[in-house]
Amino acid sequence: MDIQRKVKYEHELDPGFLAKIKRLSHCEEIDRCIQCGTCSSSCPMSVYMDHPPRQIIGFIKNGYREEALSSFTVWLCSSCYTCQVRCPAKIKITDVMYALKREAIENKIYPHRFSIPLLDKEMTKLIARDGRNSEMRLILRLYLKSFKPFNLLKMTPLGLKLMKTGRMSLKRNRIKGRKQLRALVKAIKENGK
């Protein structure tokens, strides 16, 4: 059996990672974490996670950048805010998860062909262009890109049910103020740099 060292030495860590995450929106309080584990025991997803929320916060505090960013945890987080309302140190854990998702997307660290970041990206593209989003169009776009979040075949009975009850349409929804929206997207982009 090949036994490997599981804990990094200090010089292998990223000392700037905590400061970087702290600068992101709603993540200022992160170093108040007392590692009590309330978040992990409250999280409905922790049984599926490689590293439950407490560990993720611990990773950030101690500079384990790669471990935090490549963990599957952030993609399992369903933003239910249970951990956040219960944390005794009032850390906005759900927002920290969002911040890590953005960091992971920006650095392209996520499982290959993994559907969640792509779903998020496609959806925001639709909104920025049309101002609205239609579930069916979103699913189709993703399918055409051959990522299969809602695998079309598997979805057929579901699609039929929606169709029969008049709850699905392929109509393109657009707002009137698209020019305004485009100006807004542009302003934010310019200002963000």
Partner 1 sequence: MKDYAYFPGCSLKENSKHYEESILPVFKAIGHPLEELEDWNCCGATAYFSVDNDMAAAVCGRNLSLAEKQGKDILAPCAGCYLTLKKSNLFLQSGAPEAKKILGDLKRSGCEYQGRSVVKHPLEVLVREIGLDVIRKKVVRKLTGLKVACYYGCQVVRPYTDFDDPDHPTSLDALMEALGAEPVDYSAKTRCCGGLLTGTIENVGLRLNHLLLKEAKRKGADVIVTVCPLCLFNLELFQDKIIKTYKEDVRIPILFFSQLMGLALGLSRDDLGFSRSTIPLDAFWAKIRNGGQNV
Residues at the site binding partner 1, with contacts judged by CB under 8 A = 24-25, 44-45, 48, 75-76, 78-82, 84-86, 92, 94-95, 98-99, 101-102, 105, 115-117, 119-121, 123-124, 126-128, 131-136, 149-150, 154, 157-158, 161-162, 164-169, 173, 175-177, 180-181, 183-188, 191-192
Q: What gap in Å lies between CA 137 and CA 119, rounded to an integer? A: 12
Query: Closest approach of Cβ 140 to partner 1, in Å?
Result: 13
Nearer to ligand SF4, 17 or 126 (CB): 17
Nearer to partner 1, 35 or 113 (CB): 113
Query: Closest approach of Cβ 48 to partner 1, in Å?
Result: 6
Lookup: tokens for 85: 């309302």
Q: What gap in Å lies between CA 175 and CA 80, rounded to an integer? A: 30
List interacting residues with ligand SF4 (CB under 6 A).
33-39, 42-43, 45, 53-54, 57, 77-83, 87-89, 91, 93-94, 97
Query: Closest approach of Cβ 125 to partner 1, in Å?
Result: 9
Residue with tokens 């993540």: 27
Give the residue from 89, 69, 92 showing the smallest Cα distance to 81. Answer: 92
The DSSP output letter for 171 is P
Nearer to ligand SF4, 27 or 126 (CB): 27
Lookup: tokens for 82: 């249970």
Using DSSP, state whether 144 is helix, strand or coil: helix
Using DSSP, state whether 109 is helix, strand or coil: coil
Nearer to ligand SF4, 98 or 150 (CB): 98
Query: Closest approach of Cβ 20 to ligand SF4, in Å?
Result: 18
Question: Does residue 159 contact residue 150 with C-beta atoms inside 8 Å?
Answer: no
Nearer to partner 1, 7 or 157 (CB): 157
Query: Closest approach of Cβ 186 to partner 1, in Å?
Result: 8
